[in-house]
């Protein structure tokens, strides 16, 4: 399932405003905008109208809602503030497709998004085209200045996040279907990097982590700051399905001593005995994938595991999950196999603000900061992450029980 490379045409998200941006800059932004918007439609294209309205759990959203929400984002934060003559496609959409931006007004309850059968697919497509034309006109306008481009950039990265969610959410929905439908029958797991004989990454001492101003970053990646590491080794390789099968065979899901208390409570309540989407059929394990129901390949990275499971596995292995600082430094300064483009990797770090963190002003400040409690950080990127959206400083975050995302792990151990 090839994906276009979508790189931001601007080196930094903040730049001095100019009266009339150069024509080449406007063309770069038009190209980037068209590419990202087309990728959303490409990902939605294999899905029927019925597929696009389904919501299989409260944490997921329908494909149609994702398509409309990212469109609302440009309408709300770009077109209405910067184009005095702009008229919304439909005034009701600000209520239907706002997600969690309290400052932007009231919103429809998240667990009930599948009930929004109207507007339908055709009208949603028309909404996207209407906003696309208005954004293109705004970028092309000689009257605008460079102050719009940071908003365009945030909107594009926001849409790329929803492109990944579109796939994770429809996979969860298809996993509930006993006929095991395939999103893409030809889908294959990405090729892994060649596994060399090099040792694990060995780290120690003072380092700097966080976004350093050399490209786009979200506010939660800033500011760059120093951290001190005790001597530690971070595994070059991701934990595989084969290793997870050993954990399961050794009773990993039946030994409460391996588990955090909250994790064990979830294991008992949900009756977990394997990663998400795994099923045992006639003595063999199968898993639901974007390509449909397939045998579990022991050589592939384990996927769809929660933080609780990752932590228990690490304890079983006599190691631990790396902190997000250990992960970032290892990914930046030493080679890690498959750090990007396979599975997000759980760290043992709670999702908290960096020293000196400041949220973006206005409603966009709700994007990250208000979620900095009770969640854990994941690093890297996954097979569903659009190209051009990955970087070593990126901080993904989910609640520790979440496993419908493409989440896996690598291990670390103190090097004494």
Residue 9 lies in a domain: no
Mean pLDDT of 99-109: 89
> Does the pLDDT value for residue 186 go beyond 60?
yes
> Does the pLDDT value for residue 250 go beyond 70?
yes
CA dist list (Å): 208 to 7, 33, 225, 315: 24, 32, 5, 28
Mean pLDDT, the chain, rounded, equals 92
> Does the pLDDT value for residue 4 go beyond 50?
no
Mean pLDDT of 2-10: 42
Q: Are residues 372 and 406 in the same domain?
A: yes
Q: What is the pLDDT of residues 335-381, one digit of tens each?
A: 899 999 999 999 999 999 999 999 888 878 778 889 999 999 999 99
What CA–CA distance (Å, rounded) separates 400 from 158?
Answer: 23
Residue 133 lies in a domain: yes
Token reading at 340: 């990007």
Q: Are residues 219 and 336 in the same domain?
A: yes
The CATH number of whichever domain residue 252 belongs to comes to: 3.90.1580.10
Percent of the chain with pLDDT over 90: 84
Q: How many domains does the chain have?
A: 2
32 in Cβ contact with 156 (< 8 Å)? yes
Q: Are residues 329 and 207 in the same domain?
A: yes
> Does the pLDDT value for residue 297 go beyond 70?
yes
pLDDT at 349: 98
Mean pLDDT of 99-118: 92
pLDDT at 197: 60
Q: What is the pLDDT of residues 137-158, one digit of tens each?
A: 999 985 667 789 999 999 999 9
The CATH number of whichever domain residue 142 belongs to comes to: 1.20.120
Residue 171 lies in a domain: yes
Residue 328 lies in a domain: yes
Domain extent, residue 406, equals: 201-414
Mean pLDDT of 59-87: 97
> Does the pLDDT value for residue 14 go beyond 50?
no
Q: Are residues 211 and 331 in the same domain?
A: yes
Token reading at 208: 């700097």
Q: What is the pLDDT of residues 155-173, one digit of tens each?
A: 999 999 999 999 999 999 9
Mean pLDDT of 251-264: 98
> Does the pLDDT value for residue 39 go beyond 90?
yes
Residue 104 lies in a domain: yes
Report the 10 Å Cβ neighbour count for 94: 18
Mean pLDDT of 88-112: 93
More confident of the two residues 18 and 155: 155
Mean pLDDT of 267-282: 98
Residue 17 lies in a domain: no
Mean pLDDT of 43-51: 98
Mean pLDDT of 104-122: 95
The pTM score is 0.93
């Amino acid at each position: 399932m090839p994906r276009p490379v979508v790189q931001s045409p601007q080196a930094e998200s903040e730049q001095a405003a100019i009266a009339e941006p150069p024509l080449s800059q406007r063309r770069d932004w038009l190209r980037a905008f068209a590419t990202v918007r087309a990728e959303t439609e490409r990902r939605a294209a294999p899905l029927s109208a019925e597929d696009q309205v389904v919501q299989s759990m409260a944490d997921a959203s329908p494909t149609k809602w994702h398509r409309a929400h990212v469109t609302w984002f440009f309408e709300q934060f770009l077109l209405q503030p910067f184009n005095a003559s702009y008229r919304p496609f439909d005034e009701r959409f600000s209520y239907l497709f706002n997600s969690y931006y309290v400052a932007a007004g009231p919103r429809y309850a998240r667990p009930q998004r599948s009930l929004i059968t109207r507007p339908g697919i055709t009208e949603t497509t028309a909404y996207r085209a209407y906003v696309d034309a208005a954004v293109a006109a705004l970028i092309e306008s000689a009257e605008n200045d460079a102050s719009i481009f940071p908003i365009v950039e945030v909107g594009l990265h926001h849409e790329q996040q929803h492109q990944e969610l579109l796939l994770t959410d429809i996979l969860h929905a298809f996993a509930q279907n006993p006929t095991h439908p395939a999103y893409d029958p030809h889908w294959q797991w990405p090729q892994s990097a060649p596994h060399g004989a090099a040792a694990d990454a060995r780290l120690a001492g003072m380092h700097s982590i966080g976004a350093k101003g050399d490209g786009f970053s979200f506010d939660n990646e800033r500011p760059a700051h120093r951290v001190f590491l005790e001597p530690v080794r971070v595994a070059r390789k991701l934990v595989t399905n084969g290793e997870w099968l050993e954990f399961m065979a050794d009773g990993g899901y039946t030994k409460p001593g391996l588990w955090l208390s909250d994790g064990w409570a979830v294991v008992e309540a949900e009756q977990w005995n394997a990663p998400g989407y795994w099923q045992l059929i006639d003595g063999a394990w199968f898993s639901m994938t974007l390509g449909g129901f397939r045998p579990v390949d022991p050589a592939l990275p384990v996927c769809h595991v929660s933080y609780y499971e990752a932590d228990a596995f690490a304890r079983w292995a006599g190691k631990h999950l790396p902190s997000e600082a250990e992960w970032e430094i290892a990914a930046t300064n030493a080679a890690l196999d498959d750090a990007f483009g396979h599975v997000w990797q759980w760290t043992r770090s709670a999702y908290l603000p960096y020293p000196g963190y400041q949220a973006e002003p206005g409603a966009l400040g709700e994007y990250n900061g208000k979620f900095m409690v009770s969640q854990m950080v994941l690093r890297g990127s996954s097979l569903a992450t659009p190209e051009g959206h990955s970087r070593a400083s990126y901080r993904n975050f989910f609640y520790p029980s979440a496993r419908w995302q493409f989440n896996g792990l690598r291990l670390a151990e103190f090097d004494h």
